[in-house]
Amino acid sequence: MGNLTSNKSLAEVIKWDSNSALNVDKSSNTKEKIHVPRNLQFAVLDKSTDDYLYLLEEFCRETDCNVKSWTAYEEPEDLKDFLSKIVLPQKIIVITSGSLGQNIIQDIHDLEQVLSIYIYCNTIERYIDLKQTYTKVRNIFNEPHELLTHLQDDIKELSRQITVEERAKQAAIPPKQSRVTESDTIEYFNQPGTHWCPWNAKSCSKELSLKGQGTVAIMQIEAIPFEIRLSNKLDPNDPTAFSIILRVDAKETRLSTNMRDYDSSTIPHHVLQEKNGNWHQYWISYFKDTRTVKYGLGEIRSLFTIFHITIDEKEDGGMKDICYLHVKVGNDDDMLKKLGDSRENFRFFVGKEIVHDPALLVTHDSNLKLLDKVEYRIIESSRLQKPCQELYNAIRNFELDDADFPNFSEAIVRSVQSPDGWCRKKLIQKANRFGRPNFSATYLRITIGHPDGKAPGHAFVVEVWPPGHYSPVHNHSNAYGIIKVLSGRILVKIYPELALNVRQHPPIETILEKGQVTWMLPRLNQTHQVRNPDIYGNSSVTIQCYQYGEEDDEHYEYFDYLNNDGQAIGHFAPTSDIDFVEFKEKMRAEWNKAQNH
């Protein structure tokens, strides 16, 4: 191809210095260039050079991609080593020869950092099986200009997808400031609210505000082993100290005191989670009056406890005097110096709250009974944070069947069941919305009003759940939320975090009947699944309400979800199937037509 030669290896020819022939002069090309996301790189695996160098030069000429985003390898092991060092949200597009690709694709295909794979070869037919077997293999080519054209077209679509992933990663970053308390009447559900950074404090120790009780949470996006030591002495190495010690690494989690071991686990979802671009939260809660200590991973609540121990009476005296927190990251006493660059990848929160399970049901204050309150069955709406209060008050008296259309809910049931019903036809259209086609994983989203920027999508959404149908496991953009059942009933499953292994965690399950209301906060009840449990019954209808908090500067507008085959996390832009007013008229027309026949 032109002046390009093939008497050098690919790795030798592709040099990224100022004298390289591939430092493309883009100033002469005035055509609008295709945008390549900044977290996208390209890796070439082949022993030849000519066609790939042509591809590289032309690709960089037509896009805003820098040649430094391309790397080249002749050996599969070198490519695998490169991929192993990639940190999400960085993504890699692999372009490989057929002969080398057939030996490496099976090893790299399931890596989260590998976005897609293109095969360039002499004989397309020889590698058709690879495209049919591996979903990330986009296509097979034997002409460089065809590969270039398809790559550019795919980048336009991939650009949108990657931008969403970047937004998702940004939205997931925990805050670096302490919680601002609205008032003494607001319930924060045992979530520790005081932010503490050892690096900023220049100390790995912190004095706690209340002796003998509290909760400590550590969040990290890395996968560095850590130790939390709760002690009655300022010096963590004091031989006379009483200490509760939580050690977490990739192989084991262990909970002990300085006198004895209490519990340990090597179960994968109990130990240090692998580095996969997601933040993971680990927490420990302790209470002197009951001598109990709890450890969990994910949302902070009792039902997500992994270890629940009772301290021996002989150690009781020391537990009552616990007033210091000592942390060690990376098993390194000199972590403040050696791990200073990691400070942005960790968050520590402390509080005097002790972990319990908050009530999932909400009621108006005048309806609350004493036993429901003290046994955490129901919470007053006035105890919720302000966004939830506003949403609850907006929909508290909202009903589906009213004087204007008393058979509204019956009309919906009929429309879902009838082959000619609008609901039935729409559900069939949506069967592949969340990955692999699955009719049962569909429901209808009927929006009220218009998006106003205060919520992800519409603030108020009526949802129709046919018998046995369900949502994917998903979360809600760190938004505040309220859900009310308008007809039928729903099963809500709450998970500790959104991850590929989420189903290894036993969920919290609760049935909501008609008229009942539940809630969610940015970091509590966020990851859940909704299902109509009545497989042979009627459709259920709910109204979901969402609102960003005043502290939310990101306004991430997508719902992240686990796709139908459980193999990937997707990002769903909450769209509308139909406006509520229009939907109501459609149901009225269908109902009247059915009654007249």
pLDDT tens-digit series, residues 498-530: 988 877 888 999 999 999 999 999 999 999 999
Is residue 183 included in any domain, yes or no? Answer: no
Confidence of residue 195 (pLDDT cuts 50, 70, 90): very high
- Identify residue 70 by its one-letter amino acid code: W
Residues 425 and 534 in one domain: yes
For residue 439, count other CB atoms closer than 10 A to its CB: 13
- What is the average pLDDT across 170-176? 85
Indicate the pairing of strand 508-513 with strand 378-380: unpaired
At 483-498, the pLDDT tens digits run: 999 999 999 999 999 9
pTM for the model stands at 0.75
DSSP assigned state of 437: -
**Sequence-distant (≥ 6) Cβ neighbours of residue 196 within 8 angstroms:** 206, 348, 349, 350
Residues 321 and 392 in one domain: no
DSSP assigned state of 499: -
Residue 480, phi then psi, degrees to nearest 5: -80, 150
Contact indicator for 586, 418 with CB cutoff of 8 Å: no
At 235-247, the pLDDT tens digits run: 999 999 999 999 9
Rounded Cα distance between 214 and 547, Å, is 30
Residues 256 and 298 in one domain: yes
Is residue 121 included in any domain, yes or no? Answer: yes
For residue 9, count other CB atoms closer than 10 A to its CB: 14
Residues 18 and 141 in one domain: yes
**Sequence-distant (≥ 6) Cβ neighbours of residue 310 within 8 angstroms:** 290, 291, 292
Indicate the pairing of strand 361-363 with strand 378-380: parallel
Where is the domain boundary, 309, 325, 351?
A: 351
Residue 336 CA from chain centroid, whole number: 29
H-only helix segments in 240-304: none
Residues 345 and 375 in one domain: no
DSSP assigned state of 177: S
Where is the domain boundary, 321, 351, 381?
A: 351
Domain carrying residue 581: 361-596
Contact indicator for 479, 557 with CB cutoff of 8 Å: no
Residues 126 and 227 in one domain: no
Indicate the pairing of strand 91-97 with strand 578-579: unpaired
Residues 130 and 269 in one domain: no
Reply yes or no on whether the pLDDT at 22 is more than 50. Answer: no
At 46-87, the pLDDT tens digits run: 987 677 788 888 888 888 888 888 999 999 999 999 998 887
DSSP assigned state of 521: B
Burial of 394 (0-12, 13-18, 19+ CB in 10 A): middle
Nearest partner of 127 among 97, 93, 92, judged by Cα = 97
Task: Give all strands of the β-sheet with 528-531 in edge-to-edge order.
Answer: 508-513, 489-494, 528-531
Is residue 430 included in any domain, yes or no? Answer: yes
**Sequence-distant (≥ 6) Cβ neighbours of residue 153 within 8 angstroms:** none
Confidence of residue 89 (pLDDT cuts 50, 70, 90): low
At 336-351, the pLDDT tens digits run: 988 888 889 999 999 9
Residue with tokens 């046994």: 375
Residues 389 and 477 in one domain: yes
Is residue 345 included in any domain, yes or no? Answer: yes
Mean pLDDT rounded to a whole number for the chain: 88
At 564-587, the pLDDT tens digits run: 777 788 888 888 999 999 999 999
Residues 375 and 316 in one domain: no
- What CATH number is attached to the domain comprising 442? 2.60.120.10
Confidence of residue 3 (pLDDT cuts 50, 70, 90): very low
Percent of the chain with pLDDT over 70: 92
Strand partners for 173: none
Residues 295 and 343 in one domain: yes
- Which SS3 state, helix, strand or coil, does residue 230 take? strand
Domain count, the chain: 3
Rounded Cα distance between 349 and 217, Å, is 5
Residues 467 and 326 in one domain: no
